[in-house]
Each structure stands twice: as structure tokens, then as C-alpha cells.
Amino acid sequence: MSQRDRITTAGLLALAAACAQGPDVSTEPVTPAPSAGTPAAIQEPAPDPVETEPRAIAASFVAPPATIAPEASAAIQDDDASAAEAQDEAARPAPSGTEQAGEVTSDTTSPLVSYFNTDEYRNAVALNFIPRGETEPEFDPAEIEDMRKVFELRQKGKGERAVQLLARMHAENPTPHVAVQLAFEYQLDERLREAASLYAFAVGEYPQFLRAWQQLAAIHFQLANGASDRDAAGEEVIIEDDPVDHYAEAQRAFQQAIGLGLVNEQNYGYLGLTLLARQRYIEAETAFRSALMMSDVDKTLYKNWRQGLVQSYFKQRRYADAAAMLGTLIDETPDDPKLWLFQGNAYIGLGDAQRAAENFQIAYQLGGADAPALLTLGDIYVNDGLAEDAVDRYLAAIELDADKSSRVLRGARSLLRLSEIDALARLLAGVEQSAMDSLDRESRGEVRRLKSQVAVRRGDSATQVAILREVIDEDPMDGDALILLGEALGKGARDLRAMLAEADAAHAAAVADAAEANQPAPERTGESDAIKSLRVQVEEAYQVFETAAAIEGFEASAKLAHAKVLVSQKRFAEAVPLLKSSLEFEDKENVRRFLEGVEQAAKRAGN
């Protein structure tokens, strides 16, 4: 059964009768059909442990319903199965992601789009096509007769012929009524852009055509939110239009409909969503307030408009207002974890990390904390010195979303800075086990570099060197890993100097003993294997530093690290030019002071 054939007979007869009788001179505004809605989805941010940014609530509400004339509403046949299906669809949570309010999502499975494919919507639109007084152009007698033929074909189940007749009528004598009826047929077939073009023609010919403005607003809102479009053959068309343009057209159409008298909560509410998408947050706040004044507090839409108002507060950085309104919503539905998350974000905006942590923890206990909230909670725990609790939250976050693993590495660096080595090791093991495949090459290298730092703190230099060699084998241009490897190898320089000094002292003592015994001075023995090994290791360190210094962006740090190893061997004169070169790439006060000390030591040593 085609979509147009699913319109109930009652709705069709009401429409046919209205067209046959001519326009209704009533000037009362049309009452909209209430529609189920879904709560807004929370956004997903990446706040620092110290500098946190509240996440906005994504605009993910149901699509605007069609308008229904009060006197014709009884003609709609109840379809319990269809209504239940629509309610189930509307109750599904909106998918999480990184989109901000004002950005355009493309989710054709969301209630925002799927509502337009229900029988409830199709029947409501059919009944909406009953003429209404001054906001309707008048029918001429010939037009009424042609429209009667269209409806007779529809009643006989000849929908395709009805569309063909309308298309011919529009081509031969385009009128606003014919254009709107043909647009309605196209809507049933999901030919949305063609329908929008016809509605635009109708309002161009008759600017007070309220029904055309209302449907034009709905279509542009759908297209902006990723609704599918089809061509005359029923094939899906890839929409390459800029969603921003559709939002602009939807805003204009909603405003025109309101100006022509269709003043209701749906129009104001969806106008608010459109204004949010266009980043006009003050106007969006006004629209949501207007919708709330007209809304029944017991209806789902009332909650939607309040959440839209909260989002407008977030976008205006009015976090105190957002937190206060969310407190009211939480009092009404304390088991909704998303509301706790929203309020936690508001507390982050207010700089109250402790209250934010309490909210995120409650959402976590309710089973509704998303990955961004868990990451933020982990950051707060790190700052509070609760390293093990932080690791638990970080690992829970990557279990929900492995793509957040690179974000977890920021917390790992904080753990290293705080010397929480056991907690860091557990976190890195969890990342390797659960999410290593989701990391890019740079992040995988960072995991191994952090592991090498764990080995160093645990006194396992051999493991550190082995890990760093693996990193460099995978990415020879990893300047950080090269410098760390050079530093690890260069640690033997101090031992080498000590062993050489010890060998020199032993030889001097042997020479003195021989002289005292009137014996020939002993020849100097060759270097021990340990000294040879350390010498090779230190020379490799210098080569590694030179390799790192040749990589753009690592010149200064590589030369500084090279100089430090030379200083550990008391080779002050060789270190001086390296430090001067490092300062040419990056001028740092502490490096300047270090250079002055090395120059003085070189003078004292006479080199």
C-alpha cells in the first residue's frame, strides 16, 4: 500500500467536502494536534581537569505536527497501532555525538524525522487542507470541479492518476490551491524538495496562505534535520543542500505562520529550535518562553520547551539560570540521569567542580552517565587526588566509547605528573586491552611513551629502552620518543665517567706502588667490557639526539637534552654551543640561566 493510500477515508471525505463547499470564512486560528516528544540529548564535551567547558544540549525534539481544524478533528480515525508505533519511536533516546546546537545532524531514524512518516501525521495534513477564511485564496468554480475529479480518483484508489491530473492542472493553470494540493501529494511520497518548491510558489502567489507557510516550515525543518528526499521514480535523492539554508527558510515560514494567526506552542517551540540552530540564542529564549506560556504542563512538549530554554541559557553562558531550571526538572523527575548530567555541566560553567562531580556520580549510579561525563568526573577525581577512582571512571568511559581513548591520555599525563604510577600503569593497561585499535599512530606512540615513563619510575631502565625502541621502529620521526630514548641511554654517561675515573685511580695507584718498589710502571690495561658497553650506549644517545634535532619542532628540546648529557660527563665546552643553538629555536629563561652556569664551569675547568 502506498503512503497516499494509507490516508483514512474519513480524512479524505472531509477534505473533498470542504473543497466542494468552498472556503470557510471562519477567522479562528487553527488548533495544532499535540505530538509526543523526546528529551534533548546531552552533548558530548572534552573539558580539562582545571579548565572545563559546559556541554550544550543538542536540539533533538520531535518534528512539528500538522495543523487540524477543530471542526474536522473528529473525522480522524484512531489507529492505535500506528499511534503506539509513533510513541515508541518518539520515546527512543536521541543518539549521542559531538554535534553542538546550531550544527546540523543527519539522523533519519530519530523521532524528529520518523514522526512525518506516521499515519497520524498524514491524516492530520489531509485534514489541514480544509480552506480557512482570509488566510486562504478563493476557489473558482472550474478549480472546484477539477479538484473534485482529483478526489474521486483518490477515493477509487487511483492515487497515481490523481497526482498526474494535479501535475497537468498545475502546468496548464498554476494556482495556489492546485500547487498546495500537489505539494501535499509529493509530501506523501517523500518528494520533499519538490513539495517545498510548490508551497513556495503558493505563498508567492498568495502571501497570506497560512497552510502553505505551515507546511513549508515543516518541510524545511525536516530537510535541515536529515530527512530523506525522493524523486518522481521513488528513488532516494542525496541531499547536498546546506542545512543552514533550510533552517533559515524554516524560521521565515514559522514566523509567517505565527504572524498570520497560527499562534500555538508548536510553532513557537519549533521556531525556538530553529533559532537555536541559527545561533540566535536570545530570540530562541523568547520563542521557548512563548511556547511555555501556551503549553499544557502535563504534556511532553512542555518538558521539551523547558529543555530548549535551558539550552538557550547554556549558549548565552547563563549557567546559574540553567542550573536553577534544571533543578526544577530534577525535582519532577529525579530518576532521569540526563537532567543530572545537564545540571552538572551548568555547575562546570559556574566553576563548581565539586557539585558537578556529585551530579555526574548520581548520573553514573542511575546508569545514564555518558562517556564525556565520565571523563570529566575522572578529571575532577585526579585534581582531588583520588587517582584510583579517576582510573575507574576513565576505563568506564572508554568502555562506553573506545574513540574517547585519546582523550583519556590527557588524564594519564596528569597521573604521571602527580607520580601516581600504579594508577597510571592500570589505566594504560586498560587502554591497551580495550581501545588500542581505535587510536591513531600518534596516540599509540604516546601510550608506549607513558609506559616507558612508568618503567623509569619503577627503576626498570631496560624495559624503558625496549619500549621506546618499539615506538621509534613504528614511527622513526617521533621526536618525543627519540629524546626520551636519548635521555635513557644518556643516563649511562654519569656511570661511564665514574668508571673511567675509578680505572684511572686504580692505574695511578699501581704506578705509585711500582715506583715505591723500584719496579717498572705497569702498562695501562684495556677497558673493561662494562666500560665499552657504556661508551657505546652514550655515543648512541648522542646520535639519537642529533636525529631528533633534525626533526622540525624538536630542535630546541633535543639540543637541550644533548647538552645535559654532555654536562653530566663534565664536557662543558661541548655543551655550550648546543645550549646557544637551543635558545635560538626557543628562548627560555631557565635555559639561559643553565647556559650561564655551564659557561662558568667551562672556564673553571679550563676548557
Report residues of the chain scoring pLDDT below 50. Answer: 1-113, 115, 127
Which DSSP symbol is given to 236?
E
Q: How far apart are CA 182 and CA 1, in angstroms?
A: 20
At 437 the pLDDT is: 76
Contact 19, 138 (CB under 8 A): no
What are the backbone dihedrals phi and psi of residue 568, each rounded to the nearest 5 degrees, phi first?
Answer: -65, -20
At 604 the pLDDT is: 86
At 284 the pLDDT is: 95
* Helix-then-strand count for the chain, H and E: 28, 6
Contact 239, 249 (CB under 8 A): no
The cell for 230 is: 525522493
At 526 the pLDDT is: 66
Q: How far apart are CA 418 and CA 103, in angstroms?
A: 38
At 81 the pLDDT is: 36
Q: How far apart are CA 514 and CA 520, in angstroms?
A: 6
At 121 the pLDDT is: 52
Question: Which whole-number Å values give the CA distances from 76 to 132, 134, 454, 572, in the listed order?
Answer: 18, 25, 70, 93
**What do you get for the CA distance between the two ends of the chain, in Å?**
96
At 133 the pLDDT is: 60
Which DSSP symbol is given to 38?
-
Contact 408, 398 (CB under 8 A): yes
Contact 178, 142 (CB under 8 A): no
At 18 the pLDDT is: 40
At 5 the pLDDT is: 45
What are the backbone dihedrals phi and psi of residue 139, each rounded to the nearest 5 degrees, phi first?
Answer: -80, 145
At 582 the pLDDT is: 93
Q: How far apart are CA 542 and CA 493, in angstroms?
A: 10
At 136 the pLDDT is: 85
The cell for 307 is: 529543555
What is the 3-state secondary structure of 123-190?
HHHHHHCCCEHHHCCCCCHHHHHHHHHHHHHHHCCCHHHHHHHHHHHHHHCCCHHHHHHHHHHHHHCC
Q: How far apart are CA 326 and CA 190, in angstroms?
A: 38
At 480 the pLDDT is: 86
Closest residue by Cα to residue 60 from 9, 104, 121: 104
The angle at the Cα of 342, spanning 340 to 343, to the nearest 5 degrees, equals 65
Bridge partners (DSSP) of residue 67 are 32
At 607 the pLDDT is: 60
What are the backbone dihedrals phi and psi of residue 598, each rounded to the nearest 5 degrees, phi first?
Answer: -65, -40
